[in-house]
Amino acid sequence: MLRIGVAGIGKISCVYLDNLTGMFGKRVKLTALCDVIFERAEKAAAEYHVKACRTLDEMLGADVDIVLNLSQPKFHFDIAFASIKAGKHVYNEKPLCTKREDADVLLKAAAEKKLRLGGAPDTFLGAGLQTCRKLIDDGRIGNPVAATAFMMNHGPEHWHPSPEFFYKQGGGPMFDVGPYYLTALVHLLGTVVRVSGSAKISSPTRTITSEPLNGAIINVEVPTHVAGVLEFAGGAIGTIITSFDVYSHTLPCMEIYGTEGTLRVPDPNTFGGPVYVRRFREEKWSQIPLINTYTEDCRGLGVTEMAEAIEQGRPHRASAELAYHVLDVMHGIHEAAGEGKYYKTVSKEQ
C-alpha cells in the first residue's frame, strides 16, 4: 500500500481522514499529517494514530509516498510544487491551484519527475455520475445537445468557521463549488472549447454570522454571482450559474438534454443519486438504479484510485489534466465576463 501524508487539517480533512483509515484503509495507508497550526495536526494525529509533523518539510522527509494537499487554495501551488520537488506524488483539493500558469508548472514538474499529480473533485467517480455517464454512453437520451447547471446559495459566512478566503482571490462561488459542476459536465460531455460569461460583486462586504467570528466584516474581492455559457467539442451547449447571492430557488442541480430525452443529474457535490431519465413521449420520469456502491461521502476515493493506478501502472482518473481543464474554464468565464468577449480554452480534459 502507498503511504499518504496530509497537508492541511481544516474542515474538510475530517471526512478524508475517516475514509482513508476506514473504507479505504485496506487500499492506502495514512502515515503523517502537518498543518501551519501544529496543535491541529497533533490532535488529529493522536486520533488517527499517525505521525504529526511541524512543517511540510518534516512530513516530506517522513514515510510518505503521496501528499494529499487539503490546504486553502492559495497554498495549493506552493505545497504541491515543494512536494513534487521532494519526489512525492501529489493530490490537491480543488481547485488544482489558483492560476493557470502555476497549473502548467505543476504538470510539467510532475512529468519531468515521472510523478503522479491529481486533483479533486472525485465525486464524478461516485455512483450517481458514473450512472449518468453510462446512460449517455448507452444512448438513453440520444445525442446530448444542451445542459444546465445551477449552484446557488447565500454564501459560507453563515456556516463556515473561517469564511474569509471564500471571498478572496482563488475563491468565489465559481472557484469554490464550480469545480464540482464543471468536472461533472466535462465528465459527461467532454472538452469545453469556448466560453462566455457575466459576473458581478453584488455587495462589497459580507458580515460573518457563524462562530467564532460572528460580526466580523469581509471585504469581497471576487465576483459572487457568475453566469457562464459553455461550448463543448461534441456540439452541446451548457449553461452554468454559480452564486453566493441567492437565498432560495427551485432550479435543478444539473440536467442534460438529448435528442431522445432528458437526464436529471444528482448534485455533483455528492457521490450518490438519485438519477432520473425521461425519454421522448414518456409521461413520467424513471428513476435509474445506480451502477456502483460509492453513494455516501467517499472523499478520498480519488487519491485512493490514484494510488492504485500508480501500483498498477495505468492512468488515474481524477487527473491533473482534468483539474487543469476545469481551472482553465473557470478563469475563462471570469475573463470573458471582464473583457466582454469569448474565451477559447487552451487545455483538454485528458
User: Would you state the pLDDT for residue 7?
Assistant: 98
Final residue in a domain of this structure, among 85, 119, 153: 119
Tens of pLDDT, residues 166-192 = 999 889 999 999 999 999 999 999 999
Q: Cα 64 to chain center, whole Å?
A: 23
* Structural domain includes residue 310: no
How far from the centroid of its chain's Cα atoms is residue 157's Cα? 20
171 and 91 within one domain: no
- Residue ending a domain, among 104, 119, 134, is 119
E strand or H helix that includes residue 261: strand 261-265
φ/ψ of 195, rounded to 5, equals: -135, 155
User: Band of the pLDDT at 243, cuts 50, 70, 90?
Assistant: very high
pLDDT digits (tens, 9 = 90+) for 51-78: 999 999 999 999 999 999 999 999 999 9
Helix (H, G, I), strand (E, B) or coil at 102: helix
pLDDT band at 349 (very low <50, low <70, confident <90, very high): low
What's the rounded Cα separation, in Å, for the pair 31 and 52?
9
Average pLDDT of the segment spanning 232-249: 97
Same domain, 61 and 140: no
Rounded CA gap, 195 and 237, in Å? 10
What's the rounded Cα separation, in Å, for the pair 127 and 3? Answer: 26
For residue 304, being part of any structural domain is answered with no
Round to whole Å and give the CA distance between 278 and 288: 10
Tens of pLDDT along 251-292? 999 999 999 999 999 999 999 999 999 999 999 999 999 998
pLDDT band at 205; cut points 50, 70, 90 = very high
Q: Is 229 a residue whose pLDDT tops 90?
A: yes
Cα separations in angstroms, 349 against 84, 191, 199, 342 = 22, 6, 24, 19
Of all residues in the chain, what percent carry a pLDDT higher than 90?
97
Task: Answer whether residue 312 is part of any domain.
Answer: no
115 and 129 in a single domain? The answer is: no
Placement of cell 457535490 in the chain:
269
Judgement on whether residues 179 and 246 belong to the same structural domain of the protein: yes
CATH of the domain at 35: 3.40.50.720
pLDDT grade, residue 36 (50/70/90)? very high
Question: 59 and 105 share a domain?
Answer: yes
Given a cut of 90, whether residue 232 has pLDDT beyond it is: yes
Q: pLDDT value at position 348?
A: 74
CA distances from 262 to 31, 279, 284, 290 (A): 45, 6, 11, 17
pLDDT of residue 338: 95
Q: Are residues 199 and 281 in the same domain?
A: yes
Residues 83 and 130 in one domain: no
H-assigned helices in the chain: 13-21, 38-48, 56-60, 73-85, 100-113, 127-137, 172-176, 178-189, 301-312, 320-339
- Measured from the Cβ of residue 39, the count of other Cβ atoms closer than 10 Å reads 10
Residue 200 lies in a domain: yes
Mean pLDDT score across all residues of the chain: 96
Q: How far is CA 346 from CA 187, 226, 321, in A?
A: 18, 21, 11
Considering the domain architecture, whether residues 248 and 215 belong to the same structural domain is answered as yes
What pLDDT is stored for residue 350 in this prediction? 60
The x, y and z cell numbers of residue 247, run together, are: 437565498
Contact predicate 177/330, CB 8 Å: no
Closest residue by Cα to residue 328 from 92, 104, 75: 104
Same domain, 101 and 143: no
- Encode 67-93 in three state secondary structure: EEECCCHHHHHHHHHHHHHCCCEEEEC
Give me the pLDDT at residue 11, please. 86
Q: Residue 45: inside a domain, yes or no?
A: yes
Note whether 235 and 268 are same-domain residues. yes
This prediction's pTM: 0.96
Query: Do residues 83 and 206 share a domain?
Result: no
Q: What is the pLDDT of residue 30?
A: 98
Q: pLDDT of 125-170, one tens digit each?
A: 999 999 999 999 999 999 999 999 999 999 999 999 999 999 998 8
Output the pLDDT for position 201.
Answer: 97
Q: How far apart are CA 249 and CA 265, in angstroms?
A: 17
- Model confidence at 95: pLDDT above 90: yes
Q: Which domain range does residue 32 map to?
A: 3-119
Point out the domain boundary residue: 89, 119, 149: 119
Terminal-to-terminal C-alpha distance of the chain = 26
What CATH code is carried by the domain that includes residue 250?
A: 3.30.360.10
In the chain, % helix, strand, coil (3-state, to 5) comes to: 35, 25, 40
Which residues lie closer than 8 Å to 14 by C-beta, 6 or more apart? none
Q: What is the pLDDT of residue 169?
A: 87
130 and 244 belong to one structural domain: yes
**How many separate domains does the chain show?**
2
